[in-house]
Amino acid sequence: MGKKKRDAKKQPRFEWTYAAFSEKATEITLTYDPATDAISFAQPVENTYHQVSYERSKGPKVLNRVPLQSRALKLSSNDALEGFDLLVAIDTNTKVINGLEISVTGIVLAVLVSDPDCGSRALSYRTPFCLEFSGLAEPREKIGWVMAIKELASHGHLPAKGRIGIVVDAYLGEIPEINARKRTIVGSLALPQNFTLLYASSDVGGEYGVNTLIKHADQASTQVLNYMQEGRAEPVRPTLSGQPFKGYRLIFGKQAPST
């Protein structure tokens, strides 16, 4: 996604945990666990998520929104990531290079790891590859999601079991319906059952894990586009038909020489 000028002064953050009751309730009973900083309800809940935002003149700016597991609702964005076995950040950018409209989808894989000494947790992440398209049709971001999931699966980067979170920075309003399988991603393609979309802005919120991941995906995409624009590599040529793009290839980074 395109960049916007950052505010000179950091805006105060507001963090909320949302839950909707599955049935009509006349009373609400909840329990707070200080050890895990999570709450649980006695009544069944659904559509649960944690959201971070700040106020602005044209309405709240959502920094991130992370769906939660209903049985234990985390009260912080970073803690909410514990509900996922793998996180995948996907972001697509487009530039005109040598007269061709070139799009690159940056991909970042991340897992939570623990420090054996102090027990603190952090995200360990890497970029397996990027996707390059020429003449990519709209909706570019969504096609990038679909193709990234397809290529990650075919290259063995996705676990057969476990919960996978896909971090994106577009279509915030559609994400709940896509996650509920009430809306497809594009065409007839629905989100796989063990996948969940998370929203994060790549422009702000670097103190949050999901925002850091989508920023790195954006940077990976931009780096490849700049590399081509500088003439250090030729863009993929349009040779395909019957696809929502005219050219396509995977781009792998160079491995550092072994020592």
What is the per-residue pLDDT across 148-187, written as a single tens digit (0 to 9) for each? 999 999 999 999 899 999 999 999 999 999 999 999 999 9
218: helix, coil or strand? helix
pTM summary value = 0.90
Residue range(s) of every CATH 3.30.420 domain in the chain: 84-251
Contacts of 174 (CB under 8 A, 6+ apart): 183
- CB neighbours (10 Å) of residue 58? 5
Residue 152 tokens, joined: 């990650």
d(CA 128, CA 253): 8
* 102: phi then psi, degrees, rounded to nearest 5: -110, 130
- Structure confidence at residue 1 as a pLDDT band (50, 70, 90): low
Q: What is the pLDDT of residues 186-199, one digit of tens each?
A: 999 999 999 999 99
Helices (H), 166-208: 175-179
Element (H, E) at 54: strand 45-54
Is the pLDDT at 255 greater than 80? The verdict is no
Q: What is the pLDDT of residues 97-137, one digit of tens each?
A: 999 999 999 999 999 998 777 777 889 999 999 999 999 99
Burial class of residue 199 in the structure, from the number of CB atoms within 10 Å of its CB (0-12 exposed, 13-18 middle, 19+ buried): buried
Report whether 213 contacts 89 (CB < 8 A): yes
More confident residue, 69 or 125: 125
* 189: phi then psi, degrees, rounded to nearest 5: -85, 115
Amino acid at 79: D
Tell me which architecture the domain covering 84-251 has in CATH.
2-Layer Sandwich (3.30)
Q: What percent of the chain has pLDDT over 90?
A: 69
Peptide bond into 139 cis (omega under 30): yes
Report whether 131 contacts 251 (CB < 8 A): yes
For residue 117, give the DSSP letter: T
Contacts of 151 (CB under 8 A, 6+ apart): 129, 131, 250
Residue 50 tokens, joined: 């944690």
